[in-house]
Structure 1
Amino acid sequence: MTAQPDILCIGSVLWDIIGRTPAHMGAGADVPGRITRLPGGVAMNIAMTLARFGVRPALLTAVGRDPEGDELVAACTRMGLVTRHIYRSDDLPTDRYMAVEGANGLIAAIADAHSLEAAGDKILRPLSDGALGRAGAPWAGPIALDGNLTAGLLADIAHSPLFAAADLRVAPASPGKAERLLPLLAVANATLYVNLEEAGLLGHRRFATAPEAAAALVDRGAARVLVTDGGRTTADGSREGIVTADPPAVLVTRVTGAGDTFMAAHIVAETRGEDRATALRSALDAAAQYVSGDIGS
């Protein structure tokens, strides 16, 4: 019998095409730099970080049966990720994400995750067909879920008995998709990971700090929410109260994937049995190492 994975990562798995330069950039800038292509996507970034910590993640996503998809699945397999549950589409291309980063942070990005959206609930079949769960015996372990799924599918997940026994950890793919998570805000077994801008979109108002945002989202019904704010104070809010910590001061060399690294490291820390304050510091340390370039992509 094949061993079950330790955690499910549901969402975007695609090719990241990232242009980086040490120069400050504005609209219309044309500067020298480096362009890389690496496996990426929110679910993929989380899974890669989990694998670095010795956790065995399985991917539930959509990948095309094109050469790019074959190459992507092979790369995932080499990293130790479980790929046998991936939905492989004959007529949908493999998704891509393109971003430009300068010394002043993320300049612009475009996520082409249309194939994942078009695949819909096909990516969730292993949770109901007995491979990873079924009606009456749902998956009872941790799940990392990202907001690249459609709003309708995320709303279905919020009420689905197939997710009712899971430790559900949820992240928006971007501020533009943050409001897709509103149906999951009050789910009792869900922990949301958002940045300050995304928290404002979920709370329908601007927040000055992460602790303020975390407290407001808990007041709106969130069981638990972690709010990051770049290099400023991060907050872990729940009905038990607000825990805060400051990120280490580091030289930032990249930003794409930092939030995913934070989320994955936090899941691992709590799996190790760390309390809320210790887990928060562990996750911030891991994210700082990532953005400084001390951890490879």
Structure 2
Amino acid sequence: MKDTPDILCIGSVLWDIIGRAPVHMRAGSDVPGRITRLPGGVAMNIAMTLTRFGLRPAILTAIGRDTQGAELIQSAELMGIDCRFLYRSDDLPTDRYMAIEGANGLIAAIADAHSLEAAGDKILRPLTDGRLGSAAQPWAGPVALDGNLTQALLAEIARSPLFARADLRVAPASPGKAERLAPLLPHPRATIYVNREEAGILCQRDFTTAEAAAEGLLSRGASHVLVTDGGSAAADGSRGQGVITATPPEVLVTRVTGAGDTFMAAHLVAEREGADRETALDRALAAAARYVSGDKPT
């Protein structure tokens, strides 16, 4: 194992319990389908995708000292994810996420990330005690940060010297948690990844296109934003360089949970490899399309 990971993924690592049915569903539907339990959470989904691109990510999160937590760590390590720096809690259970998906997309979901929220800044200790950095010598690599952290902790991260040199890549966990990212929006080293709905929540207005949403976020002080919009055109907005757009490939959608995290990871890798804005956006959209069609991103 390398002493230093390639990237830190900070946020939710939990079990995804997903029920999927091959038919259109609505509230109250009761249909046959499949139920799976897989490692998930925004930080975990990003880390899993990064390993497929040949990187070694480390996760900074809270996992309980329970059977589910031990199984989750074992699964992560088997995928090549560095688990040395995560926080194990004696009194908090391992978090879980439950979703129902139909042929018409996500029907409903509940995220139980209360243990991560309760752990607070304990998950950041490796960045303070010298294992991954300190206030005097902060971590200088990429960081994938997710909105399952509390708004207070995200605000602390936004002003913390521990992240003064980091390449911050920030994503909300869901539209319901998009507002938590507000303190990070003007951070000069942050790239914000949102969908059109989440952009509207951050800007407190409605947008009809990803392009308009990207322009709105830039006007609110963001330095670099990526806005997706399902099968419609996505946008990359950069201060001083304007907004570009690209349309994702058309695919048969077989799953949706984790698509945004895959997009973010693929975009990060493309930029890390020196791709220009257009190429990075195209590669991220292609990876997300492969993911929702049921294939692994490559």
TM-score normalised by L of structure 2: 0.98
Question: Cα distance, 1:118 vs. partner?
Answer: 0.2
Corresponding residue number in structure 2 for 1:56 = 56
Residue 19 of structure 1 aligns with an amino acid whose one-letter code is G
Corresponding residue number in structure 1 for 2:173 = 173
Pairing 1:214-225 to 2, within 5 Å after superposition: 214-225=214-225
Could you list the runs of 5+ residues in structure 2 that have no partner in the other structure? none
Alignment length, in residue pairs?
296
Corresponding residue number in structure 2 for 1:208 = 208
Describe the SS at the equivalent of 2:256. Answer: coil
Corresponding residue number in structure 1 for 2:114 = 114
CA distance in 2, matches of 1:294, 1:68: 27
CA distance in 2, matches of 1:65, 1:43: 19
Question: Cα distance, 1:136 vs. partner?
Answer: 1.2
CA distance in 2, matches of 1:2, 1:128: 20
Pairing 1:28-39 to 2, within 5 Å after superposition: 28-39=28-39
Corresponding residue number in structure 2 for 1:249 = 250
Deviations 1:216-271 (A, max 9, x none): 11011001110000000000001111111000000000000000000000000011
Corresponding residue number in structure 2 for 1:45 = 45
CA distance in 2, matches of 1:40, 1:224: 26
Describe the SS at the equivalent of 1:153. Answer: helix
Question: Cα distance, 1:64 vs. partner?
Answer: 0.2
Corresponding residue number in structure 2 for 1:103 = 103
Pairing 1:49-198 to 2, within 5 Å after superposition: 49-198=49-198
Describe the SS at the equivalent of 2:16. Answer: strand
CA gap of 1:273–1:15, structure 2 versus 1, over 3 A, is same
Query: Are positions 1:233 and 2:233 aligned together?
Result: yes
Corresponding residue number in structure 1 for 2:275 = 274
CA distance in 2, matches of 1:65, 1:170: 28
CA distance in 2, matches of 1:272, 1:55: 12
Describe the SS at the equivalent of 1:251. Answer: coil
Corresponding residue number in structure 2 for 1:25 = 25
Could you list the runs of 5+ residues in structure 1 that have no partner in the other structure? none
Question: Cα distance, 1:22 vs. partner?
Answer: 0.6
Residue 145 of structure 1 aligns with an amino acid whose one-letter code is L
Question: Cα distance, 1:2 vs. partner?
Answer: 5.1
Question: Cα distance, 1:112 vs. partner?
Answer: 0.2
CA distance in 1, matches of 2:136, 2:254: 47
Corresponding residue number in structure 1 for 2:3 = 3
Residue 263 of structure 2 aligns with an amino acid whose one-letter code is F
CA distance in 1, matches of 2:188, 2:136: 19
CA distance in 2, matches of 1:132, 1:276: 30
CA distance in 1, matches of 2:105, 2:234: 19
TM-score normalised by L of structure 1: 0.99
Deviations 1:86-118 (A, max 9, x none): 100000000000000000100000000000000
